[in-house]
Structure 1
Amino acid sequence: MKKLLLIFLLFGSLLLNNCTKNEKIEIIKIQEDKIENQMIRAYQEGMTAFENRLYFEAAKKFNEAEILFPQSEWAPRSALMAAYAYYYDDYNNRAISELINFFKKYPDHPNTPYANYLLAMSYYNKIVDEKKDLEPLKNSKKQFEYIVENYPNTEFSLDSKFKLDLINEMIASKEMYIARHYIQKEKWIPAINRLKFIVTEYDNTVFIEEALHRLVEIYYKIGLEDESRKYAVLLGYNYPEGEWYKNTYKVHKKEYKIEDIKNENKKSTLKKLKSLLD
């Protein structure tokens, strides 16, 4: 009788434990469902705010959605939408911060290429005056280069290449601006260094011809005629029809006439190079 009672008590205890565990699981599930519903509601409110152009408010709602249920698949979506809303509202520093956190939390997310592009654009939008602040230029250039290298077959890569061309033009513009300042002050060595930097690093920009011509002028002025002729040859060989080559021609041909340039350009490349080196 005692054995039967013991078995009954043990069975009852196990049954009670199982019921308690099931109840706990059920409670947890209900709580998770409730939190997920709250998160989805916050996300939807964020989308509504965004559509109504309340971008800062939208970002806050997306942040709230991510915090409510960080283990949900909606969390990375919310994080990205928050970054996009901040970016769209020109809060670029907040967008950058959101995206850096996104990479830390969701390193393998499928939308990582887009997140990298959005980060590059956030840096790019911070460019206000390239002559005063190079940091946004450097950061955006580095990020666009990363996209081109790591996601070459995406639409983001195509636009990144275009943005890189614009950034290079801006950097070259700054270098030329500084070089002209040194030339006015007759500080020849720093001017030469800036101009050479343009020639070696930014030869695909619109400033390459002026940079070569300025080198011709400076070297001629300080008495280094061989160096001056070297850059004159380089300019004439690559840009024979340009206005800057016409100015360079004046430096080495005192009896300058426009007809001389036209006749010079008709010569063979070898004769052209020799004529400048004579």
Structure 2
Amino acid sequence: MRSEDGLGAAARLLRAALIGLLALGAVACSGDEEPEYVERPVEELYNDAMDQLEAENYEQANQAFEEVDRQHPYSVWATKAQLMSAYTNYLADQYDEAIIALDRFIDLHPGNRDIAYAYYLRAISYYEQIIDVQRDQRVTQLALDSLQQVVQRFPNSEYARDASLKIDLTRDHLAGKEMAIGRYYLTDREHFAAINRFKTVIEQYQTTTHVPEALHRLVESYLALGITQEAQMAAAVLGHNFPGSEWYQDSYALLEGRDLTEARSERSWLGAAWDWIF
């Protein structure tokens, strides 16, 4: 009788333990479940998102703006939230995500009252990613293209002036990249390759700060190849357009003080550069 009682007690303990484990498993599973979806008024959701934005909680703000779009996709607030979501990504330095969101906004709402700002913010998201001239400049070109779109599409907008200023800086950066490559070729004595880079600066980036040096580097390159007439022509163009430049002084010294006023030749590609007005 005692052994049967012992077996019965053991069975009851095992049963109680099993029930306890099942209960714990149920609690654990319930903890893994997603929180219950609760629809909230659109104004409440949007205001919460704005509160997070003002508190500089950009990740939470972004999620809150996305929730506005999810819960009320056909409301005016949803359209605003799409743009604000891109803006919070921009503030958080999540530029790629901002650009994706802005591309979507532009595609969906081409006639929206804030469309000029969307184009501008996309351009700035590219602009903020511009890196040192020693690196690949693909993003710089994208920034330039996007900034030009702002000016061309919205010339009278409040964003056009700032975009124009940034276009000048972006073009200067691209010219700087060409100069860096040209200098490398010049140092490596690949003079024809260097000349092509310096010509690109002169022909495509005439309003940048790199033009005087590019002309001087042409003088160096042409002299290294023994093409004295072209070297004289480059120096003459430099002196005509930038008479006070230190680069002109360097070029003049290289040519040993020769009279450059007679160097003009219409047959030279540099002849077209003679009458630049900066």
Band the TM-score falls in, shorter-chain normalisation = 0.7 to 0.9
**Superposition TM-score, scaled by structure 1 size:** 0.78
**Are residue 273 (structure 1) and residue 261 (structure 2) matched?**
yes
Trace 1:164-203 onto structure 2 (pairs within 5 A): 164-203=167-206
* Whole-Å separation in 2 of the counterparts to 1:161 and 1:142: 12
Q: Check 1:254–1:237 CA distance in 2 against 1; reply closer, same or farther (3 A cut).
A: closer
**Are residue 154 (structure 1) and residue 142 (structure 2) matched?**
no
**What residue number does 1:53 align with?**
56
RMSD: 1.8
The Cα shift of 1:137 comes to 0.5
> One-letter code of the match for 2:112?
H
Trace 1:4-153 onto structure 2 (pairs within 5 A): 37-153=40-156
**What residue number does 1:242 align with?**
245
The answer to whether the Cα contact below 8 Å between 1:96 and 1:119 also exists between their aligned partners in 2 is yes
* Whole-Å separation in 1 of the counterparts to 2:96 and 2:189: 40
1:4-34 CA-to-partner distances (Å, cap 9, x unmatched) read xxxxxxxxxxxxxxxxxxxxxxxxxxxxxx9
The answer to whether the Cα contact below 8 Å between 2:133 and 2:180 also exists between their aligned partners in 1 is no
Q: Percent same amino acid at aligned positions?
A: 33
The Cα shift of 1:254 comes to 5.7
* Whole-Å separation in 1 of the counterparts to 2:170 and 2:142: 11
**Are residue 218 (structure 1) and residue 204 (structure 2) matched?**
no
More helix by share: 1
* Whole-Å separation in 2 of the counterparts to 1:162 and 1:254: 39
SS at match of 1:85: helix
The Cα shift of 1:40 comes to 2.1
- Give 5+ residue unaligned stretches, structure 1: 1-33, 256-263, 265-271
**Superposition TM-score, scaled by structure 2 size:** 0.78
SS at match of 2:142: helix
**What residue number does 1:24 align with?**
none
- The range that moved more, 138-147 or 128-137, is 128-137
The Cα shift of 1:199 comes to 0.4
